[in-house]
Chains A and B, each alone.
Chain A
């Protein structure tokens, strides 16, 4: 199919659907090169809002080393990011370089939207990267993305609330039962204090499933496997918190960043969230720390991996490579990420990584590295978003008490099987 038809189709889809979404920054036209300077666009979801300044530091350092390149950063919130990226690629205005997460990498790489970085790398050396990170963004032996950062999910806790209630603080040996017992003691609904917060959705489910020894997909990846006793146990674990140790949907009332604000205001004892929250919690007026998430029969921590990729249509492949490499593995980038607690650089140099532990808050930073010892990677299929939505939807039905956990899992399994079929 020719490009014209594609574009006509995109225009058609956009216009007939009358979604009239402003395409925003992601679809700005490719800028002309002024004065022999190459303008390189970079589209990201992980920088805004907490780390725009840090990205700026990295960008300035890169431009100093590469005076002929002008990097233009465009950001979008995560929940709109892929819509914008997709439409800009369809409309032929893809950014030269952009961020991709592990779950979406396969889709874009298989679609031929990404530049094989091997063709522009020259003698660029990739030994600085942690090799498993590098391999996560390879397909058919081709390097379509450079790992830029990774992060894990840990259990945050408000030490003051624990001390006040006389409950011992969480340790790495905790299991679900310990967490639940503590959460019940710490919940004081009259004061608006909740013991626990763990969203009921796909990402928490595949992880807790692994924590209780279950599998999400069959070994050959062709069928769902989560409608099992372990699946029921994992789903029950998530659902049982809602309305007891955790607020309900109606109480949350769709408020943005509800859980973040609840924790920051000192009214949440335990919070399952990612290490990207560290920077935002610097100035809260109470003591807090983190531990590796409690498991059931096993430990399993969610790891999120982000990469920098270049568009297959970019005219500046060499510059794109240079920027991707600088952003992911340069000393400036690695130290900036570590100093600002902006996720972790996927590099093999332990010297630099150990700098992460020097920051005094939270005290138990070692938990971040410990959590990497047993990780749960999200299941990835071709129709990823549909799978995530289907599982989240059924789980929230169960959480609201409109369906039994068993029925919800059965329905979710049927939907996921249909998506795989």
Chain B
């Protein structure tokens, strides 16, 4: 915004009523802007943009990390697109998102609404639910692996008490992805809760009161006031969670390593295996770019689509 204001876009004859951009403008102004941007610009260029260029360059080669790179042009992309393993990895990722996104959003919304009310120990509870968010994925994944251990886990033990024979969880290909979804939703619940809680608190009380005076039921107030006014927060949460979903990796690596029988091999696991197990950094970089293209596309669609349903108070 400030850059745009700085441009001399005012009509030529408009009276000068405030400090003209010109006085602030020029190299000195650009220098000041650059100075303020520096702290985030340097890491961005160093750790994101340059590596991205490097990885694109790598994606055009065959490279096992230890020998010279060999130019293959778009060969890696062509191979990946026809490869059933790639297709499986994308399908598994979509399966993860399909389970994770609704679970984490609805769970987070429920918690946010609950913890927005006056209740004892509210601050403590908010903190407790946020705790998993700041916990390392390694810790969380190991914990869930133990909880869901088919042989000695507490979940199957508890299920056994009520006469249910628990599934094989992460050792069973049908249950492995649900296990990972469960762990992921549990960990990220607090994040969604905090964002939505902030959104809820930004909704002016007057609207609710006015609706109450008009005799609206609690559900109608939630449906027609809270939800629409919460939509900017919802939008943010959905965008972030989708991107996180596409990049799911840590929990998969620790809980199943892509198994059993490849049932949880997601795109990033595939990228990891290609590079570090199979010495195919070129193909891995190409797959990273395919994933990037998909995430970009989905995000653009979301941003375009937000006009239809996101209400900015």
Rounded to whole Å, the gap between the CB of A105 and the closest CB of chain B is 13
Bound CA span A83–B284, Å: 15
Beta-carbon contact of A13 and B260 below 8 Å = no
Beta-carbon contact of B149 and A9 below 8 Å = no
In the complex, B150 has a CB within 8 A of chain A: yes
In the complex, B241 has a CB within 8 A of chain A: no
Query: How extensive is the interface on chain B, given as a class?
Result: 35 or more
Bound CA span A253–B145, Å: 9
Bound CA span A12–B288, Å: 11
Given A86-B279, A254-B170, A393:B262 Cβ within 8 A:
yes
In the complex, chain A residues whose CB is within 8 Å of the CB of B150: 250-251, 253
In the complex, A108 has a CB within 8 A of chain B: yes
Beta-carbon contact of B54 and A8 below 8 Å = yes
In the complex, chain B residues whose CB is within 8 Å of the CB of A11: 50-51, 54
Rounded to whole Å, the gap between the CB of B128 and the closest CB of chain A is 27
Partner of A16, one of B55, B145, B149, B277: B55
In the complex, chain A residues whose CB is within 8 Å of the CB of B249: 18-19
In the complex, A249 has a CB within 8 A of chain B: yes
Beta-carbon contact of B285 and A86 below 8 Å = no
In the complex, B47 has a CB within 8 A of chain A: yes
A-B pairs under 8 A by CB, number: 128
The 8 A CB mask of A82-115 against B (1 = contact, 0 = none) is 0100110110000000000000000110111100
Rounded to whole Å, the gap between the CB of B264 and the closest CB of chain A is 13
In the complex, chain B residues whose CB is within 8 Å of the CB of A402: 173, 261
Beta-carbon contact of A254 and B145 below 8 Å = yes
Given A9-B69, A249-B171, A254-B170, A17:B261 Cβ within 8 A:
no
Rounded to whole Å, the gap between the CB of A46 and the closest CB of chain B is 20
Given A12-B52, A16-B51, A1:B69 Cβ within 8 A:
yes
Partner of B63, one of A9, A108, A249: A9
In the complex, what residue of chain A is closest to B168 when comparing beta carbons? A250
Beta-carbon contact of B57 and A83 below 8 Å = no
Beta-carbon contact of B151 and A252 below 8 Å = yes
Stretch at the interface among B10-18, B95-103, B268-276: B268-276
Count of interface residues, chain A, beta-carbon cutoff 8 Å: 42
Rounded to whole Å, the gap between the CB of A398 and the closest CB of chain B is 10
In the complex, A33 has a CB within 8 A of chain B: no
In the complex, what residue of chain B is closest to A383 when comparing beta carbons? B278
Bound CA span A65–B173, Å: 56
The 8 A CB mask of A369-390 against B (1 = contact, 0 = none) is 0000000000000010110010
Beta-carbon contact of B69 and A5 below 8 Å = yes
Rounded to whole Å, the gap between the CB of A371 and the closest CB of chain B is 30
Beta-carbon contact of B54 and A9 below 8 Å = yes
Beta-carbon contact of A16 and B261 below 8 Å = no
In the complex, what residue of chain B is closest to A403 when comparing beta carbons? B261
In the complex, chain B residues whose CB is within 8 Å of the CB of A14: 51
In the complex, chain B residues whose CB is within 8 Å of the CB of A249: 168, 171, 260
In the complex, A6 has a CB within 8 A of chain B: yes
In the complex, A407 has a CB within 8 A of chain B: no
Beta-carbon contact of A389 and B277 below 8 Å = yes
In the complex, A52 has a CB within 8 A of chain B: no
Rounded to whole Å, the gap between the CB of B41 and the closest CB of chain A is 16
In the complex, what residue of chain B is closest to A312 when comparing beta carbons? B66
Bound CA span A9–B172, Å: 37
In the complex, chain A residues whose CB is within 8 Å of the CB of B281: 9-10, 13, 90
In the complex, A352 has a CB within 8 A of chain B: no
In the complex, B184 has a CB within 8 A of chain A: no
In the complex, what residue of chain B is closest to A12 when comparing beta carbons? B54
In the complex, B311 has a CB within 8 A of chain A: no
Partner of B172, one of A16, A250, A251: A250
The 8 A CB mask of A1-44 against B (1 = contact, 0 = none) is 10001101111111111110000000000000000000000000
Task: Identify which of residues 56-96 in chain B touch chain A, using a CB-to-CB cut-off of 8 Å.
Answer: 57-58, 61, 63-69
In the complex, A397 has a CB within 8 A of chain B: yes
In the complex, chain A residues whose CB is within 8 Å of the CB of B149: 253-254
In the complex, A273 has a CB within 8 A of chain B: no
In the complex, chain B residues whose CB is within 8 Å of the CB of A396: 259-261
The 8 A CB mask of B196-236 against A (1 = contact, 0 = none) is 00000000000000000000000000000000000000000
Complex A-B, nearest 10 residue pairs according to Cβ-Cβ distance, in ascending order = A12-B54, A15-B51, A253-B151, A90-B65, A12-B51, A12-B55, A250-B168, A111-B67, A111-B66, A250-B150
29 contacts between A and B (CB under 8 A): A1-B68, A5-B57, A8-B50, A8-B54, A9-B54, A9-B63, A10-B281, A12-B50, A12-B58, A13-B65, A15-B47, A16-B52, A16-B54, A16-B288, A83-B277, A87-B276, A90-B65, A249-B171, A249-B260, A250-B150, A252-B171, A253-B149, A254-B149, A255-B151, A385-B278, A386-B277, A386-B278, A396-B260, A400-B173
| Residue ranges of A at the interface with B (Cβ–Cβ < 8 Å) | 1, 5-6, 8-19, 83, 86-87, 89-90, 107-108, 110-113, 249-255, 383, 385-386, 389, 393, 396-397, 400, 402
